[in-house]
Amino acid sequence: MNLILDGIVIAGLFAIFGISHSVLASNKVKRWILQKYGNKIAFYRLFYNLFSTIIFLAVYYFSPKPDVYIYDLDYPYDIIILILQILSLAGFLWAVSFVDAKEFLGITQIKRYFNGTYNPGELDERLTFIVRGPFHYSRHPIYFFSILFLGLRPQMDFFYLIFFLAMTAYFVIGSKFEEKKLIERFGVRYIDYKKNVPAIVPYKIFTQKYTGEKNEIT
């Protein structure tokens, strides 16, 4: 009974993180901030990332962690899983390399604010439609490799299992909210991309490569 309650608490805490993260990332909230504070919304992305990190760490810290193991792989299976996890990390870094890290973190927005080139119509970030590299095969390759990295564990305890399931749900649900903004920004081009490229799992990798766009679109 205690284990079930612990599972509910863990899932509930991470649900709070996911909901708050998605709400604060919504265009509705951003437009309210733009209306209230004008081009100072350039600072919002950095605030959003810092706040989300603090909430995530707090949720992780305060979640119950019962001493219950789901599995603990023996040699050589633990080494095989570890190698796969390292490969998934390499894939994650490959996918991230196509993203403007400073824009994602909120640094370039602040630079544009101070040099007078910030466009408030961008809200808190300059959205980029990326169709290169892994984005040919998955609309969200960063989420795909993150799920693999988190799930490929030589050792799995009860807390981490719930954490993994919660984060996977967050990636899946969050990707749908993210795509609403991309469709709003890029219209039929993104709709065409969405029709031809899988959302997260690149199951068409051996049968189809998206070639509708050659470069990034901002």
Q: Is there a domain that residue 72 lies in? A: yes
Mark the ranges of the chain whose per-residue pLDDT is less than 70.
1, 206-218
Q: Is there a domain that residue 58 lies in? A: yes
Q: In which element (H, E) is residue 65 found?
A: none
Structural domains in the chain (count): 1
Q: Is there a domain that residue 218 lies in? A: no
Q: Is there a domain that residue 215 lies in? A: no
pTM of the model: 0.91
Q: Is there a domain that residue 205 lies in? A: no
Q: What is the pLDDT of residue 218?
A: 45
Q: Is there a domain that residue 201 lies in? A: no
Q: What is the pLDDT of residue 210?
A: 65
DSSP 73-102: PPTTHHHHHHHHHHHHHHHHHHHHTTS-HH
Residue ranges making up the domain that contains 131: 2-196
Tens of pLDDT along 64-109?
Answer: 999 999 999 999 999 999 999 999 999 999 999 999 999 999 999 9
DSSP 102-146: HHHHTHHHHHHHHTT---GGGTTS---B--SGGGGT-S-HHHHHH
Q: Is there a domain that residue 101 lies in? A: yes
Q: Is there a domain that residue 212 lies in? A: no
28/121 Cα distance (integer angstroms): 13
Which DSSP symbol is given to 201?
S
Q: Token pair for residue 128? A: 């980029």
